[in-house]
Structure 1
Amino acid sequence: MSTTYFFTGFPGFLAANIVKNIAIQNNEAQFKLLIHPSQMDKADKAVDRLLTDGLLHREQFELLEGDITQPNLGLHEITLESLRDTVNYVFHLAAIYDLAVPKDFAYKVNVIGTGHVNDWVLTLNNLRRYIYFSTAYVSGERKGRVLETELQMGQTFKNHYESTKYEAEVLVQQIRSQVPTTIIRPGVVMGNSQTGATIKFDGPYFAMRFLDKFAAFPIPYVGKGEATLNLVPVDYIVNATSYLAHAEVAENKVYHLTDPSPYPVREAYALICRNLIGKEPSWTVPASFISSALSIPSFRRWTSVEKETIAYFNHPADYDTTQAAKDLEGSGVSCPDFADYIQIAVSFYKEHRHDPDKMIPVR
């Protein structure tokens, strides 16, 4: 009997890559992909791309129109009945990832949506694992060492993305005693370390967009840059998640899929400058000055940089990866060094920086 995987968040970057990875490893697997009505066309094209090498077949993939913000995921009872006995693995990745997202929208998708997925997961009869995608930044404003085993530590948050992902993980942790669960907390996701490929230029790519605007001038460091910048390439997240989702040792554990040896912001920023514009930063501007400037809508839109990004260049949190390192031992999966793939990431950015589909609009 084939294994059946259910995904939310397809055709998003992480979900699409994990589906492809698992499908290549198990070309008899079946995939039930919950697709928001607005994403059906994109999802259909994404499945077509998975079939181009001839190893996979269209009948392995079923697109289910639904919505996690609705009870029963917006699915018909006949579909729910069919899934109840066939689904073996559930990957919940659907969420709002925008750092500038309004609170009500983030809460509806990230918290209420996760509650609905949890309720549905509890009805499944042959579930082997529930894999929930959280974020390392459920730690909020906490400083210092952050453990994988910690969550509710009285922390405050930098934005509604963090706070609602925190509330969502709290809900998932509440059902761990009833459902075999693995929680993944990625750092800031970069493109593929081998190809540079990514579907959008956000996160650390905002630094590249900023540098594009000021390349002709002496380049400043933004703040002291003493904190570390936790960047991880998508292939590490995909390979680690695919392994841990099926590993018995990973049942009912939480993993920081973050860089075990992150670079200080100052060093990471200098590496980006060197590879993107061929020069070093030569002076320092206070982070508060840049943050204030980005509060001006016209300046923010001109630079194409979200104000909320600046907080992640100055926050001194250290994400412990002890549990991830131990349970990935022997799998052949490890996090590449940022210095080894930044040139590839920058080259991809240069090639595609005028692609409107990859340039996240800044309000």
Structure 2
Amino acid sequence: MEDTSVIAEFYKDRHVLITGATGFMGKVLVEKLLRCCPDLSTISVLVRPKKGKKSNERIQDIVSCPVFDKLRDQPDGEKLLKKINCIAGDITQPNLNLSNDDEKTLQDSVDIIFHMAANVRFDQSLKTAVLFNTGGTKNLLDVACTFKKLTAFIHVSTSYCHCNEVRLEEKLYKAPHEPRKILDMVSWMDETMLESLTPKLLKSSPNTYAYTKCLTEQLVSEYASRLPLVIARPSIVTAAWKEPMPGWVDNLNGPTGMLVGAGKGVIRSMHCDHTLEANIEPVDCATNALIAIGWKVVTSPATRDVRVYHVTANNDNTISWGSALDIGRKHFYDNPFSVCLWYPRGGFKSNYFYHMLAVFFLHVIPAYLVDFLMVMTGNKPFLVRTQKRIHGGLEVFQYYTTRPWYFCNDNFTKLWNEMTKRDREIFYTNRNKIDYNQYLLDYVLGARRYCVREDPETLPYARKLLKRLYYLDILKNILLALFVLWMFSSYATMFLNRIEAPFSFSNYTMSYKSVP
């Protein structure tokens, strides 16, 4: 019995619907379900056409990515991949824009829904965020109400959706505004008016993503009498710990963007309290948690309450931002990028004034200097524009790194304790101890390989480049120091001359009057 997975057995013959399957977490969830719950019936994935590609073409691209290599290597891998059923649809449209046949299939057979589709950009306009994140969820909830066999609707939120709460419990919180009224408002109000209203609406929310996730949770709770609902709140989702391969990551959101920017020498200062805990959750741990939550919700006594689970770092298995930086920097020097703007130096500044001073000297001035050289050599300037975009991203992310956060996760701890030893091995979360030194090494190598598309064979060249950049950085520091000394000397001389001038004139006058 110890060799049997209770969770895998639970998913046998079940039909799962996943939205957001083309996203970072979505890919890992689909792969894990197929590989570790091979007896499930079907995984329907709702995919909209995008950039000239049809829904089924997008799914083929996803299945061809490295995430599914481990599954393809299994003897029955290709057979399992055929369990993916692509449903052409769009959550932003009424009735999800489903065909009649697809709608009937889903109504008659879907057991569990994992709703992961969301626009995760922090800088999106209020209208876009509300219509996609809140409006899209409403459309899915309305359709789900017609599903005959539905046993669980798992809404994936974020642990940072109630930013006015330093200590967040596993319960529902009231949104600052009625979600349906906000949906109605953005449907008719023009962008200019919405833009002026956005700061007043957001208040304690740092961005439109957090605000709409907050609204959406309340909207979800309104369907509690009609649907078996659960809300999962992952914290900052980062590169894979173990599966599908250590360090796998396919986007530059959040910490990954900061990591790559720092490694390329573009980001040299960040406002952060290095003593605070970085509540990061590897993507494989997060998706394993979702699968376990699905099992727990269905096998527990029915309730009309919306259950909430915090998919966050275990309180005794965290790492501070400062420690993460120190470990990551060491691994970056050993495994640098082969394309860098400058030598990766710098770090966190807990004082905002010192941070902005560093930004001026290490971000702004070099950007204008590089763009000036680009123009002089007949090339197109790019760095000032890039730095402005990076600065905007830093301003958003720094909100989360300068405040303490505490997430109660008693519900998920209880779930973990109820899992069998075998299920804890298969559907592990970071309740297991993570070796952060090894994890961050894999993270650096994964970002290098999967985000920046640099093969391991380029490492010898990258190390030589890093050495040259190191000496150039020293030369730059010497020249900058000499320039500062020259400026100081020049201003000091001018200042002394201005002080001495009146006395010299007075002495000259006195000498003149003393002549007989």
Q: TM-score, normalised by structure 1?
A: 0.86
Task: Report the equivalent of 2:308.
Answer: 254
Matched, 1:264 2:320: yes
Give the structure with higher Rg (CA): 2
Asked whether 1:60 is paired with 2:83, we answer: yes
Residue 388 of structure 2: aligned partner: 300
Q: Is the 8 A contact 1:100 1:160 kept in 2?
A: yes
Q: Give SS of 2:87's match.
A: strand
Name the residue aligned to 1:200.
251
Cross-structure match for 1:317: 405
* Residues 58 and 23 of structure 1, relative CA distance in 2, 3 Å threshold: closer
**What are the superposed Cα offsets for residues 212-241 of structure 1, whole Å, 9 maximum, x if unpaired?**
2449x9x66634334322111011011111
Aligned pair 1:37/2:30, yes or no?
A: no
Per-residue displacement from partner, 1:58-102 (whole Å, max 9, x unpaired)? 542221111001111110223212221111111111100111111
Match in the other structure for 1:361? none
Give how far 1:44 is off. 1.9
Is the counterpart of residue 174 in structure 1 residue 205 in structure 2? no
Alignment of 1:63-78 (within 5 A): 63-78=86-101
> Could you tell which deviates more after superposition, 203-212 or 68-77?
203-212
SS of structure 2 residue aligned to 1:138: coil
Aligned residues: 353
Give 1:286's match in structure 2, choosing from 351, 355, 373. 351
Mean CA deviation greater in 57-66 or 229-238: 57-66
Secondary structure of 2:43 counterpart: strand
| Aligned position for 1:341 | 439
The within-5 A match list for 1:1-363 is 2-28=13-39, 29-38=41-50, 40=55, 41-48=57-64, 50=68, 52-53=72-73, 54-55=76-77, 56-143=79-166, 145-152=167-174, 156-194=204-242, 195-214=246-265, 222-247=271-296, 248-249=299-300, 252-261=306-315, 262-277=318-333, 284=349, 286-287=351-352, 289-290=355-356, 297-301=385-389, 305-331=393-419, 332=424, 333-335=428-430, 336-337=433-434, 338-355=436-453
Structure 1 residues 88 and 281: alpha-carbon distance in aligned structure 2, compared to 1, 3 A threshold: same
**Residues 243 and 169 of structure 1: CA distance in aligned 2, closer, same or farther (over 3 Å):** same
CA RMSD of aligned residues (A): 3.0
Which sections of structure 1, spanning at least 5 residues, go unmatched?
357-363
Stretch deviating more after TM superposition (15-24 or 40-49): 40-49
**Quick one: structure 1 residues 34 and 227, their matched pair in 2 at CA, closer, same or farther if it must change by over 3 Å?**
same
Q: 1:224 to 1:10 in 2, by over 3 A?
A: closer
Shift of 1:283: 7.6
Q: What residue is the counterpart of 2:495 in the other structure?
A: none
Kindly indicate which of the two structures has a greater share of residues assigned to strand.
1
Name the amino acid aligned to 2:321: V
- Gap change, CA 1:36 and 1:282, over 3 Å in 2: closer
Gaps of 5+ in 2: 1-11, 177-202, 335-343, 365-383, 455-516
Cα distance in structure 2, aligned partners of 1:106 and 1:250: 35
Secondary structure of 1:316's counterpart equals coil
Name the aligned partner's letter for residue 260 of structure 2.
Answer: R
Question: Is contact 2:161–2:213 with CA below 8 Å preserved after alignment?
Answer: yes
Specify the alignment match of 2:506 in structure 1.
none
Letter of the 2:308 counterpart: V
Deviation at residue 318 of structure 1 after TM alignment: 0.9
Retained in 2: the 8 A contact 1:300–1:306? no
Deviation at 1:353, TM superposition (A): 5.0
Three-state SS of the structure 2 residue aligned to 1:81 is: helix
Looking at structure 2, the residues matched to 150 and 260 of structure 1 have their Cα atoms a distance apart, in angstroms, of 21
Aligned-pair distance for 1:256? Answer: 0.9
CA distance, structure 2, for counterparts of residue 249 and residue 321 of structure 1: 18
Q: What residue is the counterpart of 1:360 in the other structure?
A: none
- Structure 1, 267-276 or 108-117: larger mean CA deviation: 267-276
Q: Is residue 272–residue 398 contact of structure 2 (8 Å, CA) maintained in 1?
A: no
**Are the aligned partners of 1:208 and 1:276 in contact in 2 as well (CA < 8 Å)?**
no
Contact 1:92–1:131 (8 Å) recurs in 2: yes
How far did residue 350 of structure 1 move?
Answer: 2.9
Q: Report SS of the residue matched to 1:137.
A: coil
Partner of 2:8: none
Match of 2:193 in 1: none
| Deviation of 1:267 (Å) | 2.5
- Identify if the C-alpha distance between structure 1 residues 178 and 66 changes in structure 2 by more than 3 Å, giving closer, same or farther: same
8 Å CA contact 1:129, 1:179 repeated in 2: yes
Give the secondary-structure state (helix, strand or coil) at the position aligned to 1:95.
coil
Q: Quick one: distance in 1 between partners of 2:113 and 2:321? A: 36
TM-score, length of structure 2 as denominator length: 0.62
